[in-house]
Amino acid sequence: MKSKALFFILTFYLFTPPIGTHAFPEIHYIDDDQKTKSQFILSITKYLQWSTPTESIVLGIISNNDEMYKTLSALASSRSSGKKIIIKNYTDVSEIEDCNILFVTKGGELSVNEIRQLDITNLLVITEQEGEKDSAINLINKEGKLMFEVNREVVGKTGVKMASKLMDLAIVK
């Protein structure tokens, strides 16, 4: 009896594919910091209103970190409410068009100043650089907590309206 049970257990282990990240390649480890920033960026879209209404929001990312793009894409595709969010990865300034939000990560290939020279209206630029003057929102870490700065002047120039609820939570510059 014991030998039959052992035989079935060994057979099960030998012929069953392993369970884990190797069995499911689409599942990968998501860094908590990246996930938090991605969730924040996706959640603020509810508090933004563009002067030209659209059915979807195009969120571009400029990053030398492919994982951030994957994280944003995975979280955006799992959203069940609100407008559809399309994630695009940009490597060159000339590629940026029809974009509503542009996230420039630390080490992103393009500077915010280069992006501003494109003079794209209705483009809200978000960075990870504390005190960045040319962006609308800066994601910063203060005492281990994710916070955000809002540059009222830059937001005003974009033509994007930001809800007062969001402004109340921000460090306003």
Instruction: Examine residue 18 and state whether it is found in any structural domain, yes or no.
Output: no
Number of domains into which the chain is organized:
1
Does the pTM of the predicted model rise above 0.85?
no
Instruction: Examine residue 23 and state whether it is found in any structural domain, yes or no.
Output: no
Instruction: Examine residue 62 and state whether it is found in any structural domain, yes or no.
Output: yes
In SS3 terms, the chain reads as: CHHHHHHHHHHHHHHCCCCCCCCCCCCCCCCHHHHHHHHHHHHHHHHEECCCCCCEEEEEEECCCHHHHHHHHHHHHCCCCCCEEEEEECCCHHHCCCCCEEEECCCCCCCHHHHHCCCCCCCEEEECCCCCCCCCEEEEEECCEEEEEECHHHHHHHCCEECHHHHHHCEEC
Residue-range definition of the domain harbouring residue 148? 30-172
Q: For the domain that residue 97 is a member of, what is the CATH number? A: 3.40.50
Instruction: Examine residue 12 and state whether it is found in any structural domain, yes or no.
Output: no
Instruction: Examine residue 102 and state whether it is found in any structural domain, yes or no.
Output: yes
Q: CB atoms < 10 A from the CB of 107, how many?
A: 10
What are the tens digits of pLDDT across the range 104-130? 888 765 566 677 677 677 889 999 888
Instruction: Examine residue 16 and state whether it is found in any structural domain, yes or no.
Output: no
Structure tokens at 21: 């990240």
What are the tens digits of pLDDT across the range 114-172? 776 776 778 899 998 888 888 899 999 888 889 999 999 999 988 899 999 999 999 98
Instruction: Examine residue 13 and state whether it is found in any structural domain, yes or no.
Output: no
Amino acid 75 reads L
Instruction: Examine residue 24 and state whether it is found in any structural domain, yes or no.
Output: no
